[in-house]
Chain A
Amino acid sequence: MECSICNMRPATLHLTNYLNGHKSEVHVCHECALEHGYIEKHDEPYTIHDLLSGLFHHEYGAHSQPTQPSHTPHAESCPNCQMTYQQFVNTGKFGCAYCYDTFSQHLNPILRRVHSGNVEHVGKVPERQHVHLQKKRVIQSYREQLNQLIQDEEFEEAARVRDKIKALENGEDHREDERGADE
């Protein structure tokens, strides 16, 4: 197969794009692929991190937004691990837990792209370290239950859930409550 750009050299790169359900194919030779930016001169294989750092560059790289003239991200570095903003952009990785704070203002757009628009964790919580957070979440889920029960006019059950919430708010350990429920 010939390269579809220069029509001379054999095509060595075959790309299939899926965009909104439409499929398109590109067949190009190595030279044209380099020239048109399908691939970069790079000895190592393209990794997820290269892709990510591409995202970072895109957000705040060479074409940074003129609407934020005072914004000088390149001077930032993490006070805990000393990772610089530039290092973070190049590797696409954080150096330590504190980097999430240090580079927080750049974080949401990136996370949204990587995680289908999500920026907040809703899953598991390390119980021992974050007893209060876990409790907050348990109360939250009881509240949702309560609303549903009231809507369904299950008032007896609703009253029981309301008492559970009260008990938790008055300082009872939610883990005690769970254990009690198991028995």
Chain B
Amino acid sequence: MSLQSFINRAISPWMQEEGPEHDIVLSTRIRLARNFADVPFPLMAREDQLEHVRDRLKHEFEGKTFLDNESLEYFNMRDLSSNESQVLTEKHLISPFLVERSKESAVLLSQNERVSLMINEEDHIRMQLYFPGLQLESGLEKAFKFDDWLEETIDFAFDEHRGYLTSCPTNVGTGLRASVMLHLPALTLTQKIGKMMPAINQLGFVVRGTYGEGTEALGNIYQLSNQVTLGRSEEDIIQDLNSVVTKLIERERYARNLLVEQSEYRLEDRIFRSYGILKHSRIMESKEAAKCLSDLRLGIDVGFINHLSTSILNELMVLTQPAFLQQYAKQPLSAEKRDVKRASIIRERLNLEEA
């Protein structure tokens, strides 16, 4: 299998599976940060030391299979074109910072895209495991197994009092960042989400938009993750996060029901307008696409639309990102050309569903 297969498919195979609470939770990600005990962190390491880290991980894990995942493929980031790197970033398989450090960095990807192990990012190792729907507890279990598997051969930087040592003090201890991607159109529409954020922050969690910048959440897709990594066990962190997510799901469902009951035709009208725009537009900016796709997905979830698959939001949000559009066009595109390409890809994709 080559890099191209990772680049060509817009959504990872696991995204097509329907996980628990899939009407609201798009995906769960568990990330663990680890470092080699005997090598300075990437910030202070010499080139040859970082090369040692890459070689060691490549040698130990390339082509190996972990649990039910297909085998791991190894790529040096410097061998990827900038558009290829951006595509992997848009799929959230790697971070922008890994691309920034592409002279020294690398990645191990499982063929089914459930596991991504970034090498020489801010830490030597950032392993990420992805799951459809809400699967924090089983996700953590799998991540622990993966971590144990690595630890069979790699000595990690660890201190009895501080835990797993990381370059940034915000990650020390567990090195765990658990995050859940949520589609919250009703809480956004009723402006409830902003009011819930302070309370969520006080519990040591942070909510932000997955796409878009600052507080804006394009497509009403939010990412909820833990901030505290020290002084609490991974299980406790996950449990608390799970209860916050459960609360959010409850509120979102309640708000959706209320909207359906009280808005009479207005919600239905809004959804079908968006559907019309997606189906017939010739020029589509990313913001408008995100808004309409969110409406469409809500329409599917509340039952106004029942001939489209639910993975359409996830898929088209990724498919209509700039690097993907250029990948499909097989050439660099100006912003305006991208808007045209975006509109046409969405039309094609919807036609495919309706056929």
Q: Judging by beta carbons under 8 Å apart, are A97 and B157 in contact?
A: yes
Interface residues of A in 16-37 (CB under 8 A from B): 18, 21, 23
Q: How many residue-residue contacts, CB under 8 A, span A and B?
A: 132
- CB neighbours (8 Å) of B152 from chain A are 128
Chain A residues within an 8 Å CB radius of B204: 116
Return the chain A residue nearest B152 by Cβ: A128
On whether the beta carbons of A129 and B158 are closer than 8 Å, the reply is yes
Q: Tell me the smallest distance from the CB of B122 to a CB of chain A, in Å.
A: 7
Could you tell me if B233 and A122 are in contact, using CB atoms closer than 8 angstroms? yes
The residue on B at minimum CB distance from A80 is B40
Instruction: Using A94-B166, A114-B230, A126-B156 as known contacts, list a sample of 19 further A-B pairs with CB atoms less than 8 Å apart, ordered by residue number in A.
Output: A23-B198, A92-B169, A94-B167, A94-B168, A96-B40, A96-B41, A97-B37, A97-B41, A100-B159, A100-B162, A107-B169, A116-B228, A118-B173, A124-B163, A124-B174, A124-B233, A126-B151, A130-B158, A133-B160
Closest to A124 in B: B234
State in angstroms the CA–CA spacing of A124 and B151 once bound together: 12
Interface residues of B in 208-252 (CB under 8 A from A): 227-234
**Measured CA separation A110–B159 after assembly (Å):** 17
- In angstroms, how far is the closest chain A Cβ from the Cβ of B91? 23
Interface: B355 (CB within 8 A) = no
Which residues does A use to contact B, with CB under 8 Å?
A: 18, 21, 23, 48-49, 52, 80-83, 91-97, 100, 107, 110-111, 114-130, 133
Provide 28 A-B residue pairs closer than 8 Å at the C-beta atoms, listed in order of the A residue.
A18-B197, A18-B198, A92-B169, A93-B168, A93-B169, A94-B168, A95-B43, A95-B44, A95-B167, A96-B39, A96-B157, A110-B169, A111-B230, A114-B228, A114-B230, A117-B231, A120-B162, A120-B231, A121-B159, A121-B172, A123-B176, A124-B144, A124-B147, A124-B164, A125-B158, A126-B164, A128-B152, A130-B158
Specify which of B158, B164, B165, B231 is in contact with A119 (CB 8 Å cutoff): B231
Q: Are A91's CB and B174's CB within 8 A?
A: no
B 28-60 to A, binary, CB cutoff 8 A, 1 in contact else 0:
000000010101110111000000000000000
Residues of B within 8 A of A23 (CB): 198
- Report whether A111 and B158 are in contact in the complex, using a CB–CB cutoff of 8 Å: no
Contact B157 A121 (CB under 8 A): no
Partner-A contacts on B (CB < 8 A): 35, 37, 39-41, 43-45, 122, 144, 147-148, 151-152, 155-170, 172-174, 176, 197-198, 201, 204, 227-234
The answer to whether B44 touches A81 (Cβ under 8 A) is yes
Measured CB to CB, the closest approach of chain A to B324, in angstroms, equals 24
Chain B residues contacting A80 (CB-CB under 8 Å) are: 40
Considering the chains assembled together, what is the distance between the CA atoms of A35 and B301 in angstroms?
Answer: 49
Beta-carbon nearest neighbor of B237 in chain A: A123
B90 to chain A, nearest CB (A): 19
CB contacts (< 8 Å) of B234 on chain A: these are: 123-124
B197 CB contacts on chain A under 8 angstroms: 18
Asked if residues B44 and A96 are in contact (CB atoms below 8 Å), the reply is yes
CB pair B157–A49 under 8 Å, yes or no, is: no
- The SS class assigned to the B binding surface is loop
Q: Complex Cα distance A130/B170, Å? A: 23
Contact B169 A111 (CB under 8 A): yes
Q: Which 9 A-B pairs have the closest CB atoms?
A: A118-B231, A121-B163, A95-B44, A96-B40, A97-B157, A115-B230, A81-B40, A81-B44, A123-B174
Q: Are A48 and B168 in contact, CB atoms less than 8 angstroms apart?
A: yes
Task: Please name all residues of chain A whose beta carbon is closer than 8 Å to the beta carbon of B165 when the two chains form the complex.
Answer: 94, 97, 100
Bound Cα distance A92, B166 (Å): 12
Shortest CB–CB separation between residue B241 and chain A, in angstroms?
14
**Cβ of B173: which chain A residues have Cβ within 8 Å of it?**
115, 118, 121, 123
Verify A127–B168 contact, CB threshold 8 A. no
Do residues A94 and B229 form an inter-chain contact, with CB atoms below 8 A?
no
Complexed CA–CA distance, A125 and B161 (Å): 11
User: For residue A117, which residues in chain B have a CB less than 8 angstroms away from its CB?
Assistant: 231
Q: With A95-B41, A100-B159, A100-B165 in contact, do A122 and B231 touch (Cβ < 8 Å)?
A: yes
Closest chain A residue to B235, Cβ basis: A123
- In the bound complex, residues from chain B placing their C-beta under 8 Å from that of A110 are 169
Whether A121 and B169, one on each chain, are in contact in the complex, defined by CB atoms closer than 8 angstroms, is no
Q: Are A82 and B35 in contact (CB under 8 A)?
A: no
Give bound CA distance, A8 to B168, whole Å: 42
> A122 with B232: in contact, given A96-B41, A97-B37, A130-B160 (CB under 8 Å)?
yes
